[in-house]
């Protein structure tokens, strides 16, 4: 996919203060709107006239505003990550306290967990290159990506062994709108942000994707198969739909 850089679309008369970004996509066949914890994004085909974006947004305004309100309400149910020394970040249902220090002479960041403390050492020039919270966020995301592979791999191997199936490869990604995927050739992809959810949510997503190794659809047969392996799948799916947008650093 060719993705053009998103750009902030300023509020115009008639837009009534609703801010959104516009992203052109070669793969898009029609205009669509994404609303999540990062805000409102309008995805349009390559040749979609920009003058038609604002009327399209206005047409969907009621739905956008309802969705934003719902997201704000559900965000209040989960404690937000606090990216600062002494702050807390979620990890599979636990809360890890950050111990952050900047060290002169350090060339690379170092992140390590010690019990319930997550120690982060940053190079002295990190704050010069990025705002302090930006440098910390990037270091934490890299750590979460590494931990995601370590957490997903044994769960995926065990689920495949129970099902008598196998996958071909595993990728850890950071998609905005997808938690995981399973391709027709058995390649698996999981979003590192699942580590910001309780452990049972990650377990559910793993079982969901392993079921796709046998049924690459969402037919009634697929859901029956999943229910035989994860009886509480409806509760986990509902939690992810309600709180997924808040799983972010």
Map the chain to HEC letters.
CCECCCEEECCCCCCCCCCEEEEEECCCCCCEEEEECCEEEEEEECCCCHHHHHHHHHHCHHHHHHHHHHHHHHHCCCCCCCCCCCCEEEECCEEEEEEEEEECCCCCCEEEEECCEEEEEEECCHHHHCCHHHHHHHHHHHHHHHHHHHHHHHHHHHHHHHHCCCCCEEEEECCCCCCEEECCCCEEEEEHHHHHCCHHHHHHHHHHHHHHCCCCCCCHHHHHHHHHHCCCHHHHHHHHHHHHHHCCC
pLDDT of residue 91 exceeding 80: yes
Structure tokens that stand for 13 in this block: 């008369």
Q: Does residue 115 lie in a domain region? A: yes
Q: How confident is the model at residue 11 (pLDDT cuts 50, 70, 90)?
A: very low
Q: Does residue 81 lie in a domain region? A: no
Query: Do 209 and 117 fall within a single domain?
Result: yes
pLDDT of residue 40 exceeding 80: yes
Query: Do 101 and 70 fall within a single domain?
Result: no
Q: Does residue 83 lie in a domain region? A: no
The pLDDT value recorded for residue 176 is 74
Structure tokens that stand for 49 in this block: 């006239």
Query: Do 54 and 147 fall within a single domain?
Result: no
Query: Do 65 and 101 fall within a single domain?
Result: no
Q: Does residue 67 lie in a domain region? A: yes
CATH number at residue 121: 3.30.2010.10
Q: Are 209 and 233 in contact (CB under 8 A)?
A: no
Entry field: residues in the chain: 249
For the segment 39-63, the average pLDDT, to the nearest whole number, is 91
Q: Of 75, 100, 118, which closes a domain? A: 75
Query: Do 104 and 59 fall within a single domain?
Result: no
From CA 220, how far away is CA 239, in angstroms rounded? 21
Q: Of 50, 75, 100, which closes a domain? A: 75
Query: Do 124 and 214 fall within a single domain?
Result: yes
> What's the whole-model pTM score?
0.76
Q: Does residue 93 lie in a domain region? A: yes
Structure tokens that stand for 115 in this block: 């019990």
| Host domain of residue 167 | 88-246
For the chain, the domain total comes to: 2
The pLDDT value recorded for residue 245 is 83
Query: Do 98 and 51 fall within a single domain?
Result: no
Q: Does residue 80 lie in a domain region? A: no
The helix-helix angle for 233-243 and 220-229 (nearest 10°) equals 100
The pLDDT value recorded for residue 103 is 86
The pLDDT value recorded for residue 226 is 97
The pLDDT value recorded for residue 131 is 54
Q: Are 203 and 183 in contact (CB under 8 A)?
A: no
Query: Do 71 and 92 fall within a single domain?
Result: no
Q: Are 246 and 70 in contact (CB under 8 A)?
A: no
pLDDT tens, 165-224?
A: 999 999 999 987 789 999 999 999 999 999 999 999 999 999 999 999 999 999 999 999
Is 39 or 228 the better-scoring residue by pLDDT?
228
Query: Do 34 and 109 fall within a single domain?
Result: no
Compute the mean pLDDT over every residue in the chain, rounded to the nearest whole number. 87
From CA 96, how far away is CA 53, in angstroms rounded? 42
């Amino acid at each position: 996919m060719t993705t053009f850089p998103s750009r902030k679309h300023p509020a115009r008369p008639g837009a009534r203060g609703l801010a959104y970004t516009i992203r052109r996509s070669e793969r898009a066949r029609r205009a669509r709107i994404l609303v999540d914890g990062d805000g409102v994004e309008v995805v349009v085909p390559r040749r979609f006239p920009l003058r038609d974006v604002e009327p399209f947004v206005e047409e969907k305004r009621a739905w956008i505003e309802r969705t934003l309100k719902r997201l704000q309400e559900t965000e209040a149910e989960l404690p937000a990550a606090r990216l600062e020394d002494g702050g807390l970040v979620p990890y599979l249902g636990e809360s890890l306290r950050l111990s952050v220090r900047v060290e002169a002479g350090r060339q690379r960041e170092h992140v390590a967990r010690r019990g319930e403390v997550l120690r982060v050492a940053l190079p002295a020039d990190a704050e010069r290159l990025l705002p302090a919270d930006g440098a910390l966020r990037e270091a934490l995301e890299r750590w979460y990506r590494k931990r995601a592979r370590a957490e997903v791999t044994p769960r995926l191997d065990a689920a495949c062994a129970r099902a008598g199936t196998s996958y071909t490869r595993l990728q850890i990604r950071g998609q905005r709108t997808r938690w995981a995927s399973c391709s027709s050739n058995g390649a698996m992809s999981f979003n590192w942000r699942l580590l910001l959810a309780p452990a049972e949510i990650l377990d559910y997503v793993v079982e969901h994707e392993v079921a796709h190794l046998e049924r690459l659809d969402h037919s009634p047969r697929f859901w029956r198969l999943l229910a035989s392996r994860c009886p509480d799948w409806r509760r986990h799916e509902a939690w992810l739909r309600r709180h997924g947008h808040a799983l972010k650093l």
